[in-house]
Structure 1
Amino acid sequence: MIPAADASLGGYQDQIAGVLEKLRDERVVERMWEGDHTVWGPEPEEIADRLGWLESPSVMRDHLDEISALVESVRSEGYTQAVLLGMGGSSLAPEVFRRVFGVADGYLELSILDSTDPEAVLECAEGLDPGRTLFIVSTKSGGTVETFSFFKYFYNLLSEKLGEDRTPEHFVAITDPDSGLQDTAEKYGFRATFLNDPNIGGRYSALSHFGLVPAALIGVDLSRLLDGASEMARACAGEGEPGENPGAWLGVVIATLANAGRDKLTLTAEPDFEPMGVWIEQLIAESTGKDGKGILPVEGEPLGEPGSYGNDRLFTYTGEESSSSDSVAARVERLAQAGQPLVRIGAREPYQIGGEMFRWMVAVAVAGRLIGINPFDQPNVESAKAQARKMVSEYQESGELPEPEPTVEGSGLAAYAPESAASPEEALQSFLERARSGDYIMLQAYLPPSEGTTDTLQDLRARLRDRLGIATNMGYGPRFLHSTGQLHKGDGGNGLFLQLTADHPRDADIPDEAGSPEASLTFGVLIEAQALGDRQALLDANRRVMRLHMSDGVEKTLDRLARGI
Structure 2
Amino acid sequence: MNPVKELEKHGQAVWLDFLARGFIAKGDLKQLIETDGVKGVTSNPAIFEKAIGSSDEYDAPVGKALKRGDRTVAELFEKLAVEDIQNAADVLHPVYNRLKGQDGFVSLEVSPYLANDTKGTVAEARHLWKDVDRKNLMIKVPATPEGLPAIEQLIGEGISVNITLLFAQQVYREVAEAYLAGLEKYVAGGGDPSHVASVASFFVSRIDTMVDKQLDEKIARANDPSEKERLAALKGKVAIANAKLAYQDYKRLYAGPRWEKLAAKGAKPQRLLWASTGTKNKDYSDVLYVEELIGPNTINTVPPATLDAFRDHGKLRDSLEENVEEAKAVLEELARSGISLDAITEELVKDGVKQFADAADKLYGAVASKRATVLGNAVNRQQLGLGDGLGKAVTKATEEWRASARIRRLWQRDKSVWTGTDEDKWLGWLDSAAQADVADYADYANKVKGQNFSDAVVLGMGGSSLGPEVLSETYARKAGFPKLHVLDSTDPAQVRAMEQQIDIANTVFIVSSKSGGTTEPNAMKDYFYDRVAKAVGPSVRTGHRFIAVTDPGSSLEKAAKKLNYARIFHGEPSIGGRYSVLSPFGLVPAATAGIDVGSFIGHALTMIRSCGPDVPPHENPGVQLGLAMGLAGLEGRDKVTIFSSKKIADFGAWAEQLIAESTGKEGKGLIPIEGEPLNDHSVYGNDRFFIDIRTEGEADAVHDGMLSALEKAGHPVVRILMKSIEHLGQEFFRFEMATAVAGAVLGINPFDQPDVEAAKIKTRELTAAFEKTGALPPEQPVVSTAEADLYTDESNAAALRAAGANGDLGSWIKAHLSRSQAGDYVALLGYIERDKATIGALQKMRVAVLEKRHVATAAEFGPRFLHSTGQAYKGGPDSGVFLQITADDAKDLPVPGQKASFGVIKAAQARGDFDVLTERGRRALRVHLKGGLKKGLAALNAAISEALN
TM-score of the pair, normalised by structure 1: 0.95
The counterpart of 1:325, out of the listed 683, 695, 701, is 701
Aligned: 1:146 with 2:520: yes
Q: Give the corresponding residue for 1:122.
A: 496
The counterpart of 1:6, out of the listed 362, 366, 383, is 383
Root-mean-square deviation (CA, aligned residues, Å) is 1.4
Q: Give how far 1:555 is off.
A: 3.2
Structure 1: give runs of 5+ residues left out of the alignment.
Answer: 513-518
Task: Give the length in aligned residue pairs.
Answer: 554
Q: Please give the alpha-carbon distance, in whole angstroms, between the structure 2 residues aligned to 1:180 and 1:423.
A: 49
Q: Give the corresponding residue for 1:37.
A: 415
Q: Give the corresponding residue for 1:369.
A: 744
Aligned: 1:561 with 2:940: yes
Q: Give how far 1:559 is off.
A: 3.3
1:383-532 aligned within 5 A: 383-417=758-792, 418-419=796-797, 420=801, 421-512=806-897, 519-532=898-911
Q: Give how far 1:321 is off.
A: 7.7
Greater shift, 527-536 or 227-236, is seen at 227-236
Q: Give how far 1:162 is off.
A: 1.5
Task: Give the aligned residue type for 1:5.
Answer: Q
Larger gyration radius, structure 1 or structure 2:
2
Q: Please give the alpha-carbon distance, in whole angstroms, between the structure 2 residues aligned to 1:201 and 1:413.
A: 39
1:58 match: secondary structure: coil
Q: Give how far 1:302 is off.
A: 1.6
Task: Give the aligned residue type for 1:97.
Answer: L
1:126-525 aligned within 5 A: 126-163=500-537, 164-319=539-694, 320=696, 324-326=700-702, 328-417=703-792, 418-419=796-797, 420=801, 421-512=806-897, 519-525=898-904
CA displacement, residues 54-109 of structure 1 (integer Å, 9 cap, x when unaligned): 1122100xx22322333222322221111110000000110001111121111111
Q: Please give the alpha-carbon distance, in whole angstroms, between the structure 2 residues aligned to 1:323 and 1:133.
A: 38
Task: Give the aligned residue type for 1:536.
Answer: D
Q: Give how far 1:377 is off.
A: 0.7
CA displacement, residues 142-174 of structure 1 (integer Å, 9 cap, x when unaligned): 111100001111111111222223211100100
1:186 match: secondary structure: helix
Q: Please give the alpha-carbon distance, in whole angstroms, between the structure 1 residues aligned to 2:756 and 2:934.
A: 30
1:456–1:555 Cα contact (<8 Å) kept: no
**1:341 and 1:321, CA in 2 relative to 1: closer, same or farther beyond 3 A?**
farther
**1:130 and 1:334, CA in 2 relative to 1: closer, same or farther beyond 3 A?**
same
Q: Please give the alpha-carbon distance, in whole angstroms, between the structure 2 residues aligned to 1:468 and 1:543.
A: 19
2:846 match: secondary structure: helix
Q: Give the corresponding residue for 1:57.
A: 433
Q: Please give the alpha-carbon distance, in whole angstroms, between the structure 2 residues aligned to 1:161 and 1:241.
A: 57
Q: Please give the alpha-carbon distance, in whole angstroms, between the structure 2 residues aligned to 1:162 and 1:321.
A: 46
Task: Give the aligned residue type for 2:626.
Answer: G
1:548 match: secondary structure: strand
The counterpart of 1:540, out of the listed 913, 919, 940, is 919
Q: Please give the alpha-carbon distance, in whole angstroms, between the structure 1 residues aligned to 2:675 and 2:628.
A: 21
**1:321 and 1:127, CA in 2 relative to 1: closer, same or farther beyond 3 A?**
closer
**1:339 and 1:41, CA in 2 relative to 1: closer, same or farther beyond 3 A?**
closer
Q: Please give the alpha-carbon distance, in whole angstroms, between the structure 2 residues aligned to 1:203 and 1:229.
A: 17
1:318 match: secondary structure: strand
Task: Give the aligned residue type for 1:35.
Answer: R
Q: Please give the alpha-carbon distance, in whole angstroms, between the structure 2 residues aligned to 1:435 and 1:366.
A: 30
Q: Give how far 1:439 is off.
A: 0.8
2:452–2:482 Cα contact (<8 Å) kept: no
TM-score of the pair, normalised by structure 2: 0.57
Task: Give the aligned residue type for 2:881.
Answer: L
Q: Give how far 1:227 is off.
A: 1.1
Task: Give the aligned residue type for 2:379.
Answer: I
CA displacement, residues 5-31 of structure 1 (integer Å, 9 cap, x when unaligned): 112211221111111111111111000
Q: Give the corresponding residue for 2:251.
A: none
CA displacement, residues 454-476 of structure 1 (integer Å, 9 cap, x when unaligned): 01100101111122211111111
CA displacement, residues 525-550 of structure 1 (integer Å, 9 cap, x when unaligned): 11000001001111111111100011
1:511–1:521 Cα contact (<8 Å) kept: no
Q: Please give the alpha-carbon distance, in whole angstroms, between the structure 2 residues aligned to 1:323 and 1:330.
A: 11
Q: Give how far 1:501 is off.
A: 0.3
Q: Please give the alpha-carbon distance, in whole angstroms, between the structure 2 residues aligned to 1:236 and 1:207.
A: 15
Which is helix-richer, 1 or 2? Answer: 2
Task: Give the aligned residue type for 2:440.
Answer: E
1:130–1:161 Cα contact (<8 Å) kept: yes
Q: Please give the alpha-carbon distance, in whole angstroms, between the structure 1 residues aligned to 2:844 and 2:666.
A: 33
Q: Give the corresponding residue for 1:104.
A: 478
**1:221 and 1:15, CA in 2 relative to 1: closer, same or farther beyond 3 A?**
same
Task: Give the aligned residue type for 2:386.
Answer: L
2:667–2:876 Cα contact (<8 Å) kept: yes
2:644–2:693 Cα contact (<8 Å) kept: yes
Q: Give how far 1:337 is off.
A: 2.2
Q: Please give the alpha-carbon distance, in whole angstroms, between the structure 1 residues aligned to 2:704 and 2:431.
A: 33
Task: Give the aligned residue type for 1:442.
Answer: A
Q: Give how far 1:116 is off.
A: 0.1
Percent of aligned positions that are identical = 38
1:322–1:330 Cα contact (<8 Å) kept: no
Q: Give how far 1:309 is off.
A: 0.5
Q: Please give the alpha-carbon distance, in whole angstroms, between the structure 1 residues aligned to 2:811 and 2:699.
A: 45
Aligned: 1:25 with 2:403: yes
Task: Give the aligned residue type for 1:325.
Answer: A
Q: Please give the alpha-carbon distance, in whole angstroms, between the structure 2 residues aligned to 1:403 and 1:471.
A: 34
Q: Please give the alpha-carbon distance, in whole angstroms, between the structure 1 residues aligned to 2:463 and 2:828.
A: 21
Q: Give how far 1:323 is off.
A: 5.7
Q: Give the corresponding residue for 1:515.
A: none
**1:274 and 1:333, CA in 2 relative to 1: closer, same or farther beyond 3 A?**
farther
**1:147 and 1:271, CA in 2 relative to 1: closer, same or farther beyond 3 A?**
same
Q: Give how far 1:322 is off.
A: 6.0
2:474–2:650 Cα contact (<8 Å) kept: yes
CA displacement, residues 497-553 of structure 1 (integer Å, 9 cap, x when unaligned): 1000011111111122xxxxxx31101111000001001111111111100011223
2:859 match: secondary structure: strand
1:488–1:495 Cα contact (<8 Å) kept: yes
Q: Give how far 1:558 is off.
A: 2.4
Which one scores higher on RCO, CA 8 angstroms, separation ≥ 6? 1
Q: Give the corresponding residue for 1:516.
A: none
The counterpart of 1:92, out of the listed 462, 466, 475, is 466
Q: Please give the alpha-carbon distance, in whole angstroms, between the structure 1 residues aligned to 2:495 and 2:477.
A: 22
**1:243 and 1:155, CA in 2 relative to 1: closer, same or farther beyond 3 A?**
same
**1:165 and 1:238, CA in 2 relative to 1: closer, same or farther beyond 3 A?**
closer
Q: Please give the alpha-carbon distance, in whole angstroms, between the structure 2 residues aligned to 1:14 and 1:174.
A: 45
Q: Give how far 1:346 is off.
A: 1.7
